[in-house]
Amino acid sequence: MKPVYRKFKNYLKRQSNWVENMQGTLMLVTTLIATISFQVAVSPPGGVWAQDYTDSVSAYNCKVDYGKCVARTAVLAYVYLDLYLLLTIYAMISFTASLGVVLLAISGLPLKNKLCTRLMIIAMVLAISFVFATFETALTLVTPDHIYYTSSNSLKTIKYI
């Protein structure tokens, strides 16, 4: 009976250090999530206006709707305002949560502390969830309507899996 007890005790001891053991991996993953979220902000799907436009540009009329389309601003923000705002909110949440994990990991706080561990796990779940939401919204923004509506049932099925 003692060998089983010792094995179980050693197993529990190893599991208590999992956050410390995974700290490097957590740093890598959260840094990648922060990079992805940052990239969505500086290089949005659909690109940015190269110069100011005050006339009708392709299928969009800048002058009538907004007065002008300003250079360095997202093209899709003028066309799909609600979806673009959703995209930026999701990207900001995932960016903030991933930076929170990085700060917790490098702050020197005791990672064996249950509160620190729980905060780190919650922040990681938020970061990963909102990166997925950012991806889904970006995909919706750049997919042509005729393809999106044709395959929307398939996309919804994949989304909820």
In this prediction the pTM is 0.74
**Residue span of the structural domain in which 152 resides:** 17-46+76-160
Q: Is residue 114 part of a domain?
A: yes
Q: Is residue 56 part of a domain?
A: no
Q: Is residue 67 part of a domain?
A: no
Q: Is residue 153 part of a domain?
A: yes
- Give me the sign of the Cα torsion angle 30, 95, 104, 119: negative
pLDDT, tens digit only, all 161 positions of the chain: 567 777 776 765 665 566 667 778 888 999 999 999 999 988 888 888 778 777 665 556 665 566 677 788 888 888 888 899 999 999 999 999 999 999 888 887 777 777 887 888 899 999 999 999 999 888 888 887 777 677 666 656 665 55
Name the strand (E) or helix (H) holding 48: none
Contact criterion met (CB below 8 Å) for 68 and 49: no
Crossing angle for the helix pair 81-106 and 23-42, to the nearest 10 degrees: 150
Q: Is residue 84 part of a domain?
A: yes
Q: Is residue 62 part of a domain?
A: no
Q: Is residue 61 part of a domain?
A: no
Measured between alpha carbons, how far is residue 103 from residues 4, 96, 109, 130, 156 in Å? 39, 10, 10, 19, 35
Q: How many domains does the chain have?
A: 1
Q: Is residue 11 part of a domain?
A: no
- Burial tier of 73 (Cβ tally within 10 Å: 0-12, 13-18, 19+): middle
